[in-house]
Amino acid sequence: METVAGALFQRFEKRVAGLQDLAHLNNFYPQLLQAGCLGHSRALYLISTLHRTGLGLPLDSTKALKFGLLSAQADDRLSGMQLGHKHHLGVDGLPVDHDLSYAYYANVAAQTIADRELSRKGQAFVEHIRLIDEDALKLQTKENDDLFVWLRFQARRGMAEAQQAVSRMLFWGQQGISSNLKEAVKFYEKGAARLKDPTLMYDYGVVLLKGQGVKQDIPKALDLLNQAAAQGFLPALTALGWYYQVFENDYRRAVEFWEKADEMGDPVAPSNLGAFYAYGQYPGKDRDEVAAYHYFLKSASRGHTDGAVQLAAYFSRGIPGAVSRVPLNAVLWTKWVSEQNGFLGSVLRKSLDAYLQKSWPASLLYYLLAAEAGFEVAQFNLGFLCDQDPDGLVSRYMQVSCPWRYYNLSTFSEQPAAYALLRMGDLFYGRHPRKERRDVQAAVQMYTAAALQQEPQGLYNLGLLVEEGVSIPKAALQKLGLSSSAPADPYTLLVELYGRCRDHQEEHSFVPCSLALFSVHLKYIWMFHGSIVKFSGVAVVAVMTGLGLLTVLRRLQSRNPVLPDSV
């Protein structure tokens, strides 16, 4: 049944890819529903998101929740993230419940780590690419595109950086390249043998040790890892420790490698040491959960997913007398791990590929899946795509205010994009269907947040609000480091805002901010020194008039010379 369900869903995807608009999307609903009833969790999740937004289906929050729960029960990664996200923020009628949010995210986080060890079919590396980032969009490629062909050529010529790039793209499925372990291993092998590059020796050593995409060869793997470690490559030290733990059952030797790697800043080693403390496996020492917590904290802070999952568990339950129970921290750490899931990466890749091919319906649907799962970049991109409204797809077929919903959701992330903050500021200040009147102070908050991210447009927009008579709260001014006397003196505030905007490193801000600053100075002079300006103006006009008359007389004299008297 799973095979039939998968075939039905793939057929649905192919039909969507060929759509020019979404007018007939509801015609495919029976096929999508049938796939879901046969056990396809992603089909159930897609139905949930369509009902949530009213895209091609009636807007129905009850059905959206029901299908979302069914999908999560079937272990769909994105559906679990969706429920974790909604209970984290308390959106779409679900209450804020950090314990429940953590439960959903913890499940997906554990699967994310397990998924990496399985076949990478259907997975891709999660890439944080915004649709406004032209440089990142230009780097997207395919196996037969010029960029990838050129990189392969450079790799074959023996360039280490090219071999690292090509093997990474093939192994993880990055920049539009499909994951291909066997091809990646070939580049690992060539780079390790010819160049003695520590990164490639480590990568090849690990796949040989685990037998990923190649026949397992432990002696050769150890030789490569030792060579990489001798060149000071930290991950190789950690991998050697893992070998002694798993293959030799020599915990003392393993700890020696991990402690050395930990001292040098490796992120994986402290996670392994923490696990030994947590399970009482550290040689010569008793079980110590407090020590384990500190090692996991160190590992997570350095960017290791396993350490983050273990750290989150401690924040969820706490350690009496040592570590407080902070469910929100548990949510944030497991959310971070979940958002590195390869199946999320695959959806993002399909979204971006469809966007680059101008297949707007497919791009919209795939970004919708990732955005509803709470992934900030997808929320931003969906808001941007809805803003553009290609072929009128959004305005005609989506029953929620798409830019408002997804830009707004993206601003709740820990690091929202300045562009999203600016757009939400515009939406708050303008008259919007969701609001009976403008929310000026909310707009001020958004522009202030954008300015704090060194976005000159935020300063410029605040200046425009001040010119329209809007009062900027003192707290906002203090955050921006502006004069405390500014609220009582709009002129001083405008000079500071436009001056900072003009002096910003962004070149595009210089001209508009300079003109705005000049306009402020001119208005100030006219308002407070009007009589002087008027008198000066009259004097200038009189002088110019006099000079003009003299010029005319001289020209007339030069054209009509005085004739001498006749004799």
Is residue 543 domain-resident? yes
Quote the distance between the C-alpha of residue 317 and its chain's center.
Answer: 30
- Asked if 446 and 542 sit in the same domain, the reply is yes
Joined together, the tokens standing for residue 35 give 């796939």
Joined together, the tokens standing for residue 473 give 């709260």
Partners of 323 in beta bridges: 319
- Asked if 68 and 133 sit in the same domain, the reply is no
pLDDT at 542 over 60: no
Query: Under DSSP, is residue 377 helix (H, G, I), strand (E, B) or coil?
Result: helix
| Per-residue pLDDT tens over the stretch 258-309 | 999 999 999 999 999 999 999 999 999 999 999 999 999 999 999 999 999 9
Is residue 149 domain-resident? yes
Question: pTM for this structure?
Answer: 0.85
What is the pLDDT at residue 191?
A: 72
Q: Minimal CA–CA distance to 491: which of 454, 452, 511, 519?
A: 519
What is the pLDDT at residue 148?
A: 66
- Asked if 453 and 533 sit in the same domain, the reply is yes
pLDDT at 483 over 60: yes
| Per-residue pLDDT tens over the stretch 424-475 | 999 999 866 556 678 999 999 999 999 999 999 999 999 999 999 999 998 9
Is residue 58 domain-resident? yes
Is residue 374 domain-resident? no
- Asked if 138 and 258 sit in the same domain, the reply is yes
Please give the residue that has the higher pLDDT: either 121 or 446: 446
pLDDT at 368 over 70: yes
Residue 148 belongs to a domain with what CATH number? 1.25.40.10
- Asked if 148 and 19 sit in the same domain, the reply is no
Q: What average pLDDT does the chain have? A: 87
pLDDT at 541 over 60: no
Domain that holds residue 509: 417-553
Identity of residue 449? A
Minimum mean pLDDT range among 102-106, 262-266, 300-304, 357-361? 357-361
CA distance 96 to 108: 19
Confidence of residue 391 (pLDDT cuts 50, 70, 90): confident
Q: Minimal CA–CA distance to 471: which of 500, 443, 499?
A: 443
- Asked if 38 and 139 sit in the same domain, the reply is no
Is residue 558 domain-resident? no
Q: Minimal CA–CA distance to 362: which of 350, 372, 373, 370?
A: 350
What is the pLDDT at residue 121?
A: 74
CA distance 75 to 57: 24
Joined together, the tokens standing for residue 244 give 């002694």
What is the pLDDT at residue 504?
A: 85
Domain boundary at 32, 51, 74, which?
74
Confidence of residue 1 (pLDDT cuts 50, 70, 90): low
H or E element that contains 480: helix 474-480
Confidence of residue 561 (pLDDT cuts 50, 70, 90): very low
| Residue 484 buriedness (CB in 10 A; 0-12 / 13-18 / 19+) | exposed
Residue 456 · residue 507 · CB < 8 Å: no
What is the pLDDT at residue 554?
A: 56
Is residue 334 domain-resident? no
- Asked if 159 and 260 sit in the same domain, the reply is yes
CA distance 371 to 70: 19
Residue 115 · residue 342 · CB < 8 Å: yes
- Asked if 165 and 247 sit in the same domain, the reply is yes
- Asked if 67 and 139 sit in the same domain, the reply is no
Confidence of residue 544 (pLDDT cuts 50, 70, 90): very low
Return the axis-axis angle of helices 289-301 and 305-317, rounded to nearest 10°.
Answer: 130
Confidence of residue 555 (pLDDT cuts 50, 70, 90): very low
The vertex-455 CA angle with 442 and 135, nearest 5°, equals 125
Query: 323 φ, ψ to 5°?
Result: -130, 120
Domain boundary at 29, 46, 74, which?
74
What is the pLDDT at residue 559?
A: 45
Is residue 240 domain-resident? yes
Indicate the number of domains in the chain. 3
Domain boundary at 213, 244, 266, which?
266
Query: 73 φ, ψ to 5°?
Result: -65, -30
- Asked if 61 and 133 sit in the same domain, the reply is no
Query: Mean pLDDT throughout 105-113?
Result: 97
Identity of residue 367? Y
What is the pLDDT at residue 160?
A: 73
- Asked if 57 and 174 sit in the same domain, the reply is no
Is residue 278 domain-resident? no
